[in-house]
Chains A and B, each alone.
Chain A
Amino acid sequence: MSKDEKIDLFKAHKDQYIARRKPVFVELPPIPYLSIHGKGGPGGEDFERCISALYGMAFTIKMRRKFGQGQDYVVCKLEGIYGEKNPKMDLISLPKEEWDWRLMIRVPEFITQEERDEAEAALLDKGKDPAVKEVRIEVVEEGRCVQMLHLGPYEEEGRTLEVMAGFAAEEGLALAKPHHEIYLSDPRRVPPERLKTILRRRVEG
């Protein structure tokens, strides 16, 4: 791929971001993400602060590469993995304050630790939130998963997860944890009934 071409990982890996109203199996290779870990209710102060830090790093790394090496890529969508530290966590019954999560934005494989460190230094130098220090490059390997598009409020993900579980069960498989979400719409403005979210779960069995 030439340096002039703008890389869009979301479009380049359509097979990994299938967003249909019916569940499908997908196979995920190890994928690098910029990630930040935290605890508490989504939409809460810590959560928003981490999103802010994550986007700050994502955009700064992207812009430095675009205007440094002349290689441009699209900043990917926000994703979240819930319940990694607490595998027994049940998103439905556990109070949101107890949730642990990892917020992530996928980055191209060529992004280096050095670029990450330089971006952090630039942001700190300009007085940005020190939370950027907690944003790391991490590789997530999920393997075989079931995923499906969830339409509507996050609180109603249960019904979509049920469909996914039924689909997996037909193959003699069960949904594993943690719970992975890919946010296709902006919850700040899009009304809850119109929110689009890809739900993804590893399968085991």
Chain B
Amino acid sequence: MEPKKYRRGTAREYRRRIQRVLAHIVENLDRDLRGESLAELACFSRFHFHRVFRGMLGEGVAALVKRLRLERAAFGLREGKASVTQLALEAGFENLESFSRAFKGAYGIPPSVFGRSEAPNPRIRVSNGVHWDMGGTPMDFESPAAPGEGFGLRLVKRPAARIAFVRHVGPLDQCGEAWDRLLGVLGVEGWLGGDVDFFGICYDNPDEVPVEALRYDACATVPAHFAGFEGLELGELPGGDFAVTTHFGAYARIGESWERLFGAWLPGSGYEPADNPCFEQYLNSPESCAEEDLCTDLFLPIRPLAHMNPDSPSSDDRFRPETRPATGE
């Protein structure tokens, strides 16, 4: 399968969906949005909404909400209409200290000084251009350009795979123990022939789930006659259509490749994420090669993009309603 050409129409659809979320965030800036189903609002699969958002805006939901609240407080300080304490509470901070710390981190000066400075700029520099504004926050935003020629992307259809896995809960850079447990059992028992593939599945979004609660499965493919083993779980890696790109280099920078896949490639692709999690395939091991030589395939499950508003398709959209009913509203 050849990836489709960049489509402005589908990119517009992505923008519309994200703009809905931005509007909702701004209208409800005083509320705790963590429990809200922003994914549903944007009509994106819950597994992927936050990655689409981060990819297109270069900023996670939580970070954007916090920044807009700080900007609103900064406008308030400039106007001099409310006390610092009052603005801190409005900005969702529990006390003045944590507000002052966050404020100083963003503006370089404490809130008490900000209000007295000459012509302070309440806007914090970001690439997406979304800011709090007294006259209503504009919902348009800057997002990354379509990836250039050098961006390797393959469309792949792969069957479901039987896997044995060990679940790790906690910071992702500490998943080594799960791998040790998995490979310890499989390797000792003779299940690690050279035909085994290794995958990592990350279920949670680090923007909304506390780092100590992040779930990650260290997985290895096993044959049908593998009956299980104490300490290992058995499962299935979902099959289907995937957009695949290869990340070269350190695992610590894998997020950047995910961001490019979601933010630069996906919106203009004619596809949207399907309703199962992304996964990574580790083609070599940090143990036996230099960090810069690590190769990891990133698998994003996809399906043809459905439009929220089927009555006004853009001229270059080739939406096929027979593939999936539109989620009209």
Which residues of A are at the interface with B, using a C-beta cutoff of 8 A? 10, 51-56, 59-60, 62-64, 66-68, 74-77, 119, 121-129, 132, 184-186, 188-190, 196
Contacts and interface: CB of A to CB of B under 8 A. Distances in A.
Interface string B189-223: 11111110000000000000000000000000001
Interface of B: 183-184, 186-195, 223, 225-226, 246, 248, 283-285, 287-290, 293, 295, 297
B283 A60 contact: no
Contacts of B297: 189
A194 to B, nearest CB: 8
B189 A186 contact: no
A56 B293 contact: no
A63 B188 contact: yes
A184 B189 CA distance: 29
Contacts of B284: 186
Contacts of B223: 126-127
Report which residue of A56, A64, A77, A124 has the largest number of chain B beta carbons within 10 angstroms of its beta carbon: A56
A188 B284 CA distance: 10
A125 B192 CA distance: 12
A177 to B, nearest CB: 28
Given A63-B187, A66-B184, A196 B293 contact: yes
A51 B193 CA distance: 10
B225 A127 contact: yes
Instruction: Give the secondary structure class of B's interface.
Output: loop
Given A53-B194, A122-B189, A126-B190, 16 more contacts: A52-B195, A56-B193, A56-B194, A60-B187, A63-B187, A64-B187, A75-B285, A119-B190, A123-B193, A124-B190, A125-B190, A126-B191, A127-B225, A129-B194, A186-B289, A189-B295
Contacts, number: 88
B187 A128 contact: no
B288 A74 contact: yes
A125 B191 CA distance: 9
Contacts of B288: 10, 74-77
B194 A54 contact: yes
Contact of B193 (A77, A132, A188): A132
Contacts of B290: 184
8 contacts: A56-B192, A60-B187, A123-B190, A126-B190, A127-B225, A185-B289, A188-B295, A190-B248
A106 B154 CA distance: 34
A129 B292 CA distance: 32
Nearest to B287: A74
Contact of B283 (A55, A56, A63, A186): A186
Give the 6 A-B CB pairs with smallest separation, nearest first: A63-B187, A122-B190, A52-B194, A128-B193, A56-B193, A55-B194
A67 B188 CA distance: 7
Contact of A68 (B188, B289, B295): B188
Nearest to B191: A126
A127 B222 CA distance: 11
